[in-house]
Structure 1
Amino acid sequence: MKNNENKINELNLACIFGFFMNYHRKEKGWSLENMGNELFLSYSTIRRIENGEFLPEKKERDHIAQLFGYDSFLDNPFQIEEYNRQILIIRQEQTFRNNQRLFKKIRSFLNVRALKASYFFPQYLLLQFYENVMNSKEMNSLLRSLEIILPYLYCFSKEQQAIVYDLMGSAYLNNNYFVQAIDCFQKAAQQNGIDLLAHIHLAMAYQYLKRDHECFNELNFCKQLLFQCGSVYRMFQISQIEALVRAERGELGLAKKILLNLYKEAGRLKDDYLINNLLNNLAYVFFISEDYLNAILYSKEAMRKSYKHIDSVLYLYIVYSYFKTDQLDEMNNAIQDCGQEPLETHIQFLIPGIKAWSEKNYKQAEEKFYIAYCESKLRKETDWKVWILNWYHVKFEDNLNFCF
């Protein structure tokens, strides 16, 4: 039995070293033949090493690492179990929204370059990927990183595979690729069924696509998982998702009740991040309820207590709410206030469209709404396309012209 365990362990180490060698060979732009020439080995031997079929001796591993600019290949399999435990702690930091500690722990590994030339190599790439996703790196860059990792997923534990898929799903979600995000989150949940973040993110993606039944199923499962981790922040997040889904289903009274209770509790906890998040959601729910006075109230309060940056949709809520309540002087003041703000593209056109509409300049309003519609379509923001049509009672024909 012991010999069999040693054999399996050696096979795992061979796979990791093969991944290390394949990654750096491609990074150098070397072919298998080039690599073979450098090491005085045959093409087939290089391929066997990269496929994890053969683990070179320590001296040869060091020589290969030196070709790639390292002092040696660190022989540290005895540390991997503890390192893997640290990755789960990093995941826990994200679950509890301890981002400062999360990044500190990630950097504590990434700053030790020698770990990249060791049996920790797959996890080193995972932590690089983790940091890049959390910092909202450019999508194409993240996809390239994923292309490197995916063929070698067998080098990761099930829990780590779940993290890879969840991080990629988060990147897709942030860029409004909802179908791709759902696919990644589902794979994450398959690899680790008790990963709370994967299930929360899956619920969020279902919410964006108006798949209410699936969203509620995920939220109910999240509530069960919540007892195992006890994260107050995630409890707030789950409840807010539920409130937003209920609001969009027309259960506006219940949605307001949930959010107002959460807002009261967040105030008691003195958590600025939660307070700001809830104010944004309250502004949204009162806005779609056509309770425009409260929409203005909560939008302004959200701006006042902005945690990091002001969500530009709040300006739209305020401008349109003033328009609907015939407070045109206040509306024009609000438009001036947001004139210098970095608004999202479709909102940049919606606001002047509202102003033109208030002045009965329907031709100009039509032009602005049309551009806003196209921008929303480009960004896959389905809600905005629907709202633009509903708010202004505009018919959008197949020939892509507005008709009043």
Structure 2
Amino acid sequence: MKKIYFDYNASTPLAPEVVDAMQPLLHDYFGNPSALHWAGKPVKEQLHNARKQVSELIGCTPSEITFTSGGSEANNLALKGLYFKNQHKGNHIITSTIEHPAIMNPCKFLEKVGARITYVGVDQFGRVSPEEVEKAITKDTILITVMHSNNETGTLQPIKEIGEIAERYGIAFHTDASQSVGKVPVNVNELKVDMLTIAGHKLYAPKGIGALFIRDGVELEPLIHGAGHENGMRAGTENTLLAVGLGKACEIAGTPFGKIKELTDYFWNQLRDEFGESVVLNGHPEDRLPNTLNVSFVRRVGQDILDKIPQLAASTGSACHAGSIELSPVLKEMKVPEEIGMGAIRFSLGRYTTKEEIDTVIKSIKEIL
């Protein structure tokens, strides 16, 4: 059995077009983009073009894009930057109980320095209720942050509805769209968000590059102070090489939406045909990322199955500790029973997934079970 990669939600390979776009930066364009001479000007043009490519994918202006080192930094800038710049207005932040650690841990840090955080729960599909978010609002609420889609189950959140609530109350709204951008259409104006996080390595760009959309008028305190790069939001000479890679990835994003959904649906239908009620879908049956299939093999252990298919790269929804099974925080919040949750495996497909690979994985799982 050849190696098969079904872990695109963890990280994607570099798209060939992205590699090609970055090549000139490795050879010809070495100047500092802030320099006004012949070596700096073409690099600045490359950086501006990359910013434009990112902005066009999500429907904002280039000036509203701040390049970061990845999704985690973008999330930290959004949360800490908003809090420290606006804490004179209030100290209350609303988020959900199923956020990525890149949101959860900044929230825990902010609690140590005076912030009050409300964690809104989810239903059995892993969806946040806009009504519950609205109920949590107080006169001191300055920020709402809810992920666009869940990295484990792929469940899409009602971001537009929450955005409308935030807009009505005059509260800043951030969404971590690291898993969504490049997989489903994302437009910051339709979603009514004030800040949005992008992670390059989730959409066929390099690791170490990301971006934060900051709507004009939103004031943040920078995490890194210095010479005022990135409109004063992130000091330090710009990483033009990786920014160009992200820009190209954004330019070519979106073309395989339909194909990947067809493959994911085929995969799920094959699993149901083979295993019937012994396999359960985790997450929303329809409102989820087109590439993500989180399933549980009932009364089995997901990691045990993957251990017997070493050529397959996929993720589990539980961890084994000294013979005991601990469900992921997301599955716990969804109140998935242990006999189901312990068998969870996240298969996340991508641009280079084939039907033949799915058939091979189905065959291997059938032999094991």
Same topology, TM > 0.5: no
Higher Cα Rg: structure 1 or 2?
1
Give the TM-score taking structure 2 as reference length: 0.28
Give the TM-score taking structure 1 as reference length: 0.26
Which structure has greater helix proportion? 1
Which structure has greater strand proportion? 2
Which has the higher relative contact order, 1 or 2, with Cα contacts under 8 A spaced 6 or more apart?
A: 2
